[in-house]
Amino acid sequence: MLVNSFDTKYASTAYKFESLDNIFTSLLGKNKKFKRIFTSILENKSLSKEEKVKLRSDITGQVINTIITHDPKSRHYLYYMGDIFREDLINSNIKQYRQHGIEIINCPKKESFEEVIKILDSLLKKILKKNYIFIFTDPKLKKKSQFIIETKTQKNQINSFVNTFKSISNSPFEVNLESNFFSQDYHQDIFFYAYSTKSKKILAQGGGYHYSKNKSKIDGFGFSCNVDNLSELI
């Protein structure tokens, strides 16, 4: 049975997507900690802008809700591949994007950060060799603060994360000093993203977060890759 889709990949683009899927699953499949999860999307043949149907714009929320429902206290090491749907900022059309990602739940932040960076760094090396850079920023910075150096040192942990990064990776990186730069609302303590100098498009992004629902609280850490942007570089 054919499934309706907003976007169909054809010929060379489909081959690139398949190649990136295989690289991702091969890398994570060797890591015995991680378990693969499957995500679902809404199918609605008569979907239109007028209908009050919310397509997912991020897979993290779906993963977290599943964990809280079934096992909120254990540690979880998860990876996924799936499609997300976002409204275009220019014309308000719904656009489809392919996403790969991992989520580490209920583990110490620094331990999770180290695990996440090692995996993402290895993944980008396999795909792009050396043509990428990490950017780190502090999502706690408020709009009234223009630069990190204006905030109180004890409230800013970004240097600690950066030092951890330097101890496990020789990849290039920068620290972004602008307040609230490109950070999702749910990230705390550290937010990072990676891009290629060839395209300037965001290839991956991630960080740590806290989530509460129905008196259950969990800490998580993860990253997601934009497969569409990655496919343009291979």
In a domain, 3, yes or no: no
**pLDDT for 145-154, tens place per residue?**
444 444 444 4
In a domain, 221, yes or no: yes
Q: CATH no. for residue 134?
A: 3.30.930.10
In a domain, 219, yes or no: yes
User: Among 186, 211, 191, 187, which Cα is nearest to 202's?
Assistant: 191
Number of domains in the chain: 1
pLDDT of residue 83: 83
For 155, half-sphere exposure in the C-beta direction (CA atoms, 13 angstrom radius) is 9
pLDDT of residue 53: 45
In a domain, 1, yes or no: no
**pLDDT for 133-147, tens place per residue?**
999 987 776 554 444
Can you give the residue range of the structural domain that contains 46? 11-231
In a domain, 139, yes or no: yes
**pLDDT for 88-120, tens place per residue?**
767 777 778 889 999 999 999 999 999 999 999
In a domain, 64, yes or no: yes
In a domain, 4, yes or no: no
Sequence-separated (6 or more) residues with CB below 8 Å from residue 26: none
Which residues of the chain carry a pLDDT beneath 50?
A: 1-5, 43-47, 50-53, 144-155
In a domain, 96, yes or no: yes
- Host H or E run for residue 132: none
Sequence-separated (6 or more) residues with CB below 8 Å from residue 199: 229, 232, 233
Measured torsion, CA atoms of residues 216, 217, 222, 228, in degrees rounded to the nearest 10: 50
Cβ atoms of 152 and 100 within 8 Å: the answer is no
